Structure 1
């Protein structure tokens, strides 16, 4: 019940915060510096990144319901594919590529005298679905098209000299189901291509699945980065493979994706399936416009990344791609009288799309080769379109030799902006809130194009939210940021975490979706400078068991010893007794056995075959020594240490990434959520025995190979489970607080004399850090309430494991 204090009516707010300030001393104090003007925040501070991964396009955002509608699937896409993948056929039926094809890009068609039934999809009772097919026949032929209980007849005319013709119709669904199929039955021989079925209800009528597009639009993104990602710059850089007759997997090329859909190419997707390009550059531009976001295309630099290392040596090919990029800008912005502006107009959009920025390349591992190409792209773009922002990148990691080299090259060349990518553990994000504090304020700006904490629990979202407060505090350096990936089909997951999950007829936002939405809908115009004092978590010395592991490699290990700095032997095993009783598997993978006085892992297909010694090393200063020999396989050695359990450890990775890179990686609560503490180019030689030493001194580690220091690191960063930022949004102040710990945080907020109304609005995301949003339940949802008792100074208790946005109205 309300209580009266000195004649004022004060409403007690039970959830999520206590209305009256507790008397206890605060755990944290937030202090505003009203005398200093903070950085302006860009309208495009937060956006979305779309890549066709996890079947995000065909069968996802692109609303086409027919899989392999043009019969172009091939072994170049996936070894299990052929032209009839996705179809069940009866009678005479074959996927054919000959002179009767629909066109040179859409080469394969269905030669049918019988029936063909599509793979299942979802329909909604009473909704309309539009059907079309391209057909040709030597004699008049009847097609019977069936969708559920609905049926239509299409009479295919004798083609004569006219060849292919398009036939269309519509259906009204007779049932709600996720197991609908489309059946096409012919009365005689007929050739079919582009068998299509679209729901009539699409997002703003532009061919995208309504629920997915609506969820993306609800984020209010400032930009859309597309079409990738790794699929942009990987694969063959040429065209069709003459030997097989199939199109090669080649880098994404925008001209393949525009014009009438029946004339567009298909391509083998980097992620192991086919992409139809029905969702192409025109549709990306249209979608960005529909949701009020700036388009940000990424073009291939002809230097591969994402675990591949190859650069083109063909100057003519490079020049063609540079010209293609200039043509892309003309397609987006050119007048209808220009060559590519005319195509845009013919596709239905005479008005320019207003392209203002473009990125060149993605996660290249050859920094000098990439940057030489990047400069050629940039110079050509700037000469023709000086107003376009051209974005370079810093490779695939948050640090390391490639990262440092690319940043130096970008600084020296005065690049407009640099694209950073990283996926790390929750602990990394909680330890790196100040990452951008020390960046050069006068250097290239940062585009954080891909980032996420490696899992899909609320603990990950809390860590991401804490990190985002640091992005906003550094809004003068970090101009844009986008979580990645955006979409995942729950039946075809190739990467996690992901922001939005879906199946044939449902979609749901993860806890990170709710977090991103809260930040993206409440950005503000500028930063209000503030600081926080309170407890942080200090680093602990590296201790735990020592281990052995491999990744797609067979190896021999011998003479494993752990010695204290005083010479005390803490653990030793030379395997001379013929058994491995002191070792246990932490992964249940690989084939381990003692052979000829060494511990051998012989399975070259197994990944992360970790075994651990029984002895727990509790010392803080010690040396690990061993001998390692690669006997076969794709990579090198993994030497785990500081093992707490199967999900918490460090390992020294030598010859990783197909024997091209070395690293020290750290797992903190999830073996799938590794962060890199150190990276460098590296390889190992099959058959050569290496003498390896890991020197541990508290949090400092030195890695020695054959007597030479290979690298070192100090894992000494403090963890900050409490983070905050304050931004101004018109007349409002938005106090954003993340409490990523299992206890409430009593916090005093001092606004340095800024006067605010006594009542404000608060939105909170809170819950069990192990919780997830799933198809069956979405427990992590925002809760908004009214709070009272506010002023220039006030105290609040922020719940355990919570993200709180408190919106205050300035009164002066």
Structure 2
């Protein structure tokens, strides 16, 4: 770490929690409790498996290359191109002197590694972020594939951007005209996060796969993982690792690599592309807007899962795209090829070394089977009929050959809606092993839905909550997630696995947030949700002790008021005759744009091209996303918002907003969303959105639609061309206090887990159901300002652990405002 970087180590958390952590329990006679937690005398709740909590890894936010994958050279094989991202070339991240040309011809290294560099002079790589990070005294392994065109050796140097030497130069001497791998070791003589790797030759030479790895990868693995990031993941003690995605899995072309056809870029993630020697793995466009080298591939995922004691859980494409693409591949032969790929994957993971794919695993250094038990098929598909037809074919083939393998289906991209209901009904009728649910919602949603799984069918398919998070990165979000997790544990007989998502984010390359672990090229830090997840994941217990909570209160919702808005998403549209009226017909706001201006409208963000002309208000840019403009702050709790909308061109339809607040919160009616396949009502929360309802919907270009949004307090009814389209009532109450109790048979402890997500302490009577317990217990507390975030320079939210006294069969304790407390109480 550079000397000029410093960190505050949880001082704020310490100051907030320490006095409470060491104080004795509150006297029950002195203070009337706000809440009472009462335990059942028996620990007869559902069992908690080691796989209760795990991690979900996806190569988003540069989580693999430049992240968990320890390779320090960016674009090491010169394969970047404009398909990956605008402006990318074979020399992205490289600078050259002399003559340097990226070539793709018959002299290439192999059919999958197609580009190489012809060089006379030098080529310098800038690495990721600010540069290549090295630490004084550490060793770094250099390698390159080369063909010599002359007799001059290769000079390999490591310097800062300013030319300061970071390691003694290394020299390698390519000989002959055949591609050969050459290696060397660089030992850092200084610490820097701004290194540059330079390779130079005075004679013509061909180069490919230029690589630099820290010797100290996680567990010392060759082609290994960045140690600090892997350590942080391992410290969670996850029960499973779900990989490789996410949207990465089921987007792009489903056709495999085809050397004769120059192979399709933007292929879906196909596991066979990612195994074998790294120089034979074809790179690919990443769905999230960059290139992926596949240096971190299926073998490395399996190896990492084994290294941290977690169950591997691979996700395979079902030939139905999701994540806004919504296409199904109608090619029976291709479907059968992917089904066979799934069978081959099981053989790769579990087969004997004499089998075709077991032999490949053994050749990579792991003759012992990995012990794969569970496979997921598909991810967030929004075409339920097409997905289900394909899933059944995967299921039939896998169960016939491997009845021991559990299969994970899914329920679409959200926590409710027509796709969700449709797929859940199909999975129940089918008796599917597990169903994957995904949702990203507001903190309020998580505090309102603690009982979500209380009513799930105990005899139906089990739930794998594969992706969830509260929509921001503040401690308030983590508190809401913690409250929700108490409900996951209470329903452990239904929710068998859960993983927060996404896992990793490079601070300089972010496509999605919130994220659990953040990093740059030499540092990493856990978000407040990382600390929360770690607290739960390392204190699971093995059985739920039934308990009840009484007392306290709830937070009731407010009526939907605020500005109205208009927006588009990669679509040109015209709006007209915008009015807001009261139920008695009186007008709050009206604009027919006949005067040729839109003076009452302001941009929420400067996006798109809005023009008032020809009696309408038009947004004409078909590229920009979220072009919202707003007007008329409505303070009435009952009103009708009407308008006319016409799509002119583009990918989607209309976004009609209401209840817009200065805090960034709003609602919008989304018609023709998801590439003109779905309609929805979405609730905006700061920088993200949760879906309140969804249903199939298409918008026709050139057709004018009459839209009406009827607001009555918290209830909203939507009308499309005079007919009711849908309705919802955002009236759920928020419960800021949550708890669950589990037992740990190995230690003989009760684990009392209490979440107090409100701005006042909660005096709580705890009745342990007549159990005899030790008079002291270990308390671990996360507490602080709900607006706090953990950052590169300060981590105010860290756990504080202490010993508390006065514990008894019944005792009273004050839980701090905005806190999560775990009490480990020894039974006697």
TM-score between the two structures when normalised by the length of structure 2: 0.93
Aligned to 2:512: 495
Aligned to 1:453: 470
Which residue, 337, 342, 345 being the options, matches 2:354? 337
CA contact (8 A) 1:18 1:797 kept: no
Work out the CA distance in 2 between the residues paired with 1:440 and 1:239.
Answer: 39
Aligned to 1:52: 59
Aligned to 1:472: 489
Other structure's SS at 1:237 match: coil
Structure 2 residue 121 is matched with structure 1 residue 114: yes
Aligned to 1:797: 814
Structure 2 residue 680 is matched with structure 1 residue 663: yes
Aligned to 1:462: 479
Aligned to 1:127: 138
Structure 2 residue 575 is matched with structure 1 residue 568: no
Superposed displacement of residue 604, structure 1: 3.5
Which residue, 556, 570, 574 being the options, matches 1:552? 570
Greater Cα shift, 531-540 or 327-336: 531-540
Work out the CA distance in 2 between the residues paired with 1:613 and 1:113.
Answer: 62
Superposed displacement of residue 209, structure 1: 0.6
CA contact (8 A) 1:27 1:535 kept: no
Work out the CA distance in 1 between the residues paired with 2:418 and 2:241.
Answer: 29
Superposed displacement of residue 365, structure 1: 1.4
Alpha-carbon spacing, 1:762–1:133, altered in 2? closer, same or farther (3 Å): same
CA contact (8 A) 2:22 2:802 kept: no
Alpha-carbon spacing, 1:34–1:419, altered in 2? closer, same or farther (3 Å): same
Deviations 1:533-555 (A, max 9, x none): 22111223323333322233333
- What does residue range 187-586 of structure 1 map to in structure 2 within 5 Å? 187-206=202-221, 207-239=224-256, 245=262, 247-533=264-550, 534-586=552-604
Other structure's SS at 2:51 match: coil
Other structure's SS at 2:255 match: coil
Structure 2 residue 171 is matched with structure 1 residue 156: no
Deviations 1:598-623 (A, max 9, x none): 3333343433333333342323x332
Superposed displacement of residue 240, structure 1: 5.6
Alpha-carbon spacing, 1:107–1:704, altered in 2? closer, same or farther (3 Å): same
Alpha-carbon spacing, 1:579–1:243, altered in 2? closer, same or farther (3 Å): farther
Which residue, 757, 763, 770 being the options, matches 1:740? 757
Alpha-carbon spacing, 1:548–1:79, altered in 2? closer, same or farther (3 Å): closer
Work out the CA distance in 2 between the residues paired with 1:324 and 1:51.
Answer: 20
Give the total of aligned pairs. 794
Deviations 1:170-196 (A, max 9, x none): 111121111111111112111111111
CA contact (8 A) 1:587 1:646 kept: no
Structure 2 residue 181 is matched with structure 1 residue 166: yes
Aligned to 2:40: 33
Other structure's SS at 1:156 match: coil
Superposed displacement of residue 115, structure 1: 1.2
Greater Cα shift, 272-281 or 76-85: 76-85
Superposed displacement of residue 339, structure 1: 1.5
Greater Cα shift, 600-609 or 135-144: 600-609
Work out the CA distance in 1 between the residues paired with 2:232 and 2:354.
Answer: 37
CA contact (8 A) 2:20 2:816 kept: no
CA contact (8 A) 2:607 2:626 kept: yes
Structure 2 residue 617 is matched with structure 1 residue 599: yes
Other structure's SS at 1:349 match: coil
CA contact (8 A) 2:657 2:667 kept: yes
Other structure's SS at 2:508 match: coil
Aligned to 1:21: 26
Other structure's SS at 1:331 match: helix
Greater Cα shift, 687-696 or 774-783: 687-696
Greater Cα shift, 649-658 or 399-408: 649-658
Work out the CA distance in 2 between the residues paired with 1:582 and 1:614.
Answer: 7
Alpha-carbon spacing, 1:243–1:665, altered in 2? closer, same or farther (3 Å): farther
Work out the CA distance in 1 between the residues paired with 2:443 and 2:750.
Answer: 28
Aligned to 1:63: 70
CA contact (8 A) 2:517 2:524 kept: yes
Greater Cα shift, 589-598 or 173-182: 589-598
Work out the CA distance in 2 between the residues paired with 1:76 and 1:580.
Answer: 39
Deviations 1:211-270 (A, max 9, x none): 000000000000001111111121112246899946421111111111111122211111
CA contact (8 A) 1:46 1:222 kept: yes
Deviations 1:328-361 (A, max 9, x none): 1111111112121122112111111111101011
Aligned to 1:5: none
Work out the CA distance in 1 between the residues paired with 2:511 and 2:667.
Answer: 25
Superposed displacement of residue 757, structure 1: 1.5
CA contact (8 A) 1:18 1:796 kept: no
Work out the CA distance in 2 between the residues paired with 1:569 and 1:274.
Answer: 54
Superposed displacement of residue 588, structure 1: 4.0
Deviations 1:499-555 (A, max 9, x none): 111111110001000000000000010111112222111223323333322233333
Deviations 1:24-77 (A, max 9, x none): 322222122225710001110000011111111111111111111111112222
Work out the CA distance in 2 between the residues paired with 1:310 and 1:584.
Answer: 36
Other structure's SS at 1:462 match: helix
Greater Cα shift, 34-43 or 509-518: 34-43
Alpha-carbon spacing, 1:538–1:235, altered in 2? closer, same or farther (3 Å): same
Work out the CA distance in 2 between the residues paired with 1:315 and 1:604.
Answer: 35
Which residue, 21, 46, 49 being the options, matches 1:42? 49
CA contact (8 A) 2:596 2:613 kept: yes
Work out the CA distance in 1 between the residues paired with 2:455 and 2:495.
Answer: 12
CA contact (8 A) 2:112 2:282 kept: yes
Work out the CA distance in 2 between the residues paired with 1:465 and 1:255.
Answer: 38
Deviations 1:736-767 (A, max 9, x none): 11111111111122222122212111001111
Work out the CA distance in 2 between the residues paired with 1:524 and 1:36.
Answer: 11
Alpha-carbon spacing, 1:641–1:521, altered in 2? closer, same or farther (3 Å): same
Other structure's SS at 2:142 match: strand
Work out the CA distance in 2 between the residues paired with 1:612 and 1:183.
Answer: 53
Alpha-carbon spacing, 1:171–1:441, altered in 2? closer, same or farther (3 Å): same
Alpha-carbon spacing, 1:13–1:293, altered in 2? closer, same or farther (3 Å): closer
Return the structure number with greater relative CO, CA threshold 8 A, min gap 6. Answer: 2
Work out the CA distance in 1 between the residues paired with 2:799 and 2:487.
Answer: 22
CA contact (8 A) 2:21 2:803 kept: no
CA contact (8 A) 1:19 1:788 kept: yes
Other structure's SS at 2:701 match: coil
TM-score between the two structures when normalised by the length of structure 1: 0.95
The gaps in structure 1 that reach 5 residues or longer are 1-11
Which residue, 646, 653, 665 being the options, matches 1:629? 646
Greater Cα shift, 233-242 or 372-381: 233-242
Work out the CA distance in 2 between the residues paired with 1:639 and 1:563.
Answer: 16
CA contact (8 A) 1:257 1:281 kept: yes
